[in-house]
């Protein structure tokens, strides 16, 4: 069997639990779908009580969908190696002939597809409940921004997967630390331009920030106060995807070095 075939099979095999196995646990379905929707519903009622226009209501619905992706990246990608270590599976990953990259690619693929379905349910439910339309002005550019944003976002998740493991038991607290600040800085429920140019520029290191701003421009046009032009944000997302891919590779090498050369999986002795 060639290395490429082995890697593809390993990636598909690791994606299977994310696509099928995760849906067998109804608690996670509730956690990934209903809870983000509840947050969006709360914001919708706040906007409606203030007499806000419909596109701000759509912001809240899109924020719930983005929250589903971020929670998946943070808990099912970034903290995954830490959970596997606690369950005793990480040693098996270290000795598989395909290496760690196909395993992480499979985790990303399965997680992205599963979360896409759940985010679609959030958008559909929010739109039906509140009668909000989400038009797309340029479908090709919309899909391009969305696809590149997913690559960048899950590249960040892969980078965090190794970093969280190297930090040891602090992974749980670090994951909690990244929850609420990202909701604010990425502009889940409001235009990120409201934070000011330099704050928004710093927040653009998070792929969701640029992705949400670009997608809202393509949906609401001049009604959305844009941070940067769509094409500029698309190229910035491409750069983030490449940068996080390199960072992920470096962090994986560091983790493999500690595991195989020094017999440990933490920066602490």
Instruction: Give per-residue pLDDT as tens, 109-120.
Output: 888 887 888 888
Domain with 165, as residue range(s), is 3-260
Residue 109's nearest CA partner among 140, 144, 150, 71 is 150
Predicted confidence at residue 171, as pLDDT, reads 66
Predicted confidence at residue 241, as pLDDT, reads 92
Q: Which position has the token pair 């560091």?
A: 254
Please indicate, yes or no, if residue 268 is contained in any of the structural domains: no
Please indicate, yes or no, if residue 240 is contained in any of the structural domains: yes
Residues contacting 140, CB < 8 A, separation 6+: none
Q: Please state, for a pLDDT cut of 70, what percent of the chain lies above it.
A: 89
- Per residue in 120-155, pLDDT tens? 888 888 888 888 878 888 889 999 999 999 899 888
Please indicate, yes or no, if residue 267 is contained in any of the structural domains: no
Please indicate, yes or no, if residue 265 is contained in any of the structural domains: no
38-63: average pLDDT: 83
Q: pLDDT grade, residue 92 (50/70/90)? A: confident
| Residue 29 to residue 20: CA distance in whole angstroms | 12
- Per residue in 159-190, pLDDT tens? 887 777 777 666 667 777 778 888 888 888 88
Q: pLDDT grade, residue 232 (50/70/90)? A: very high
Predicted confidence at residue 269, as pLDDT, reads 42
Q: Is the pLDDT of residue 268 over 60?
A: no
Please provide the average confidence, as pLDDT, over all residues in the chain.
81
Domains in the chain, number: 1
SS3 98: coil
- Per residue in 2-46, pLDDT tens? 777 777 887 887 788 777 766 666 666 777 677 777 878 888 888
Please indicate, yes or no, if residue 33 is contained in any of the structural domains: yes
Please indicate, yes or no, if residue 134 is contained in any of the structural domains: yes
Q: Is the pLDDT of residue 74 over 60?
A: yes
Query: Which has more pLDDT, 99 or 120?
Result: 120
Please indicate, yes or no, if residue 237 is contained in any of the structural domains: yes
Predicted confidence at residue 237, as pLDDT, reads 94
Predicted confidence at residue 174, as pLDDT, reads 74
């Amino acid at each position: 069997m060639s290395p490429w075939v082995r890697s593809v099979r390993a990636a598909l095999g690791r994606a299977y639990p994310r696509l099928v196995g995760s849906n067998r646990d109804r608690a996670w379905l509730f956690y990934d779908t209903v809870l983000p929707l509840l947050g969006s519903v709360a914001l919708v009622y706040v906007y409606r009580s203030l007499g806000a226009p419909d596109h701000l209501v759509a912001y809240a619905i899109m924020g719930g969908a983005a929250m589903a992706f971020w929670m998946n990246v943070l808990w099912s990608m970034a903290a995954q190696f830490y959970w596997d270590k606690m369950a005793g599976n990480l040693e098996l990953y270290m000795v598989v002939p395909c290496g760690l990259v196909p395993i992480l690619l499979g985790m990303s693929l399965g997680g992205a597809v599963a979360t896409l379905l759940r985010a679609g349910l959030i958008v559909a439910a929010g739109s039906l409940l509140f009668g909000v339309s989400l038009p797309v002005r340029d479908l090709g550019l919309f899909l391009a921004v969305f696809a590149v944003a997913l690559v960048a976002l899950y590249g960040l998740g892969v980078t965090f997967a190794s970093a969280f493991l190297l930090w040891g038991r602090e992974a749980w607290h670090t994951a909690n630390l990244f929850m609420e600040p990202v909701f604010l800085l990425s502009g889940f429920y409001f235009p990120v331009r409201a934070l000011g140019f330099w704050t928004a520029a710093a927040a653009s290191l998070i792929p969701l920030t640029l992705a949400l701003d670009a997608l809202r421009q393509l949906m609401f046009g001049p009604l959305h106060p844009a941070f940067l032009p769509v094409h500029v944000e698309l190229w910035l997302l491409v750069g983030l995807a490449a940068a996080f891919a390199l960072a992920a590779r470096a962090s994986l090498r560091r983790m493999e070095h500690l595991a195989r050369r020094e017999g440990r999986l933490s920066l602490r002795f």
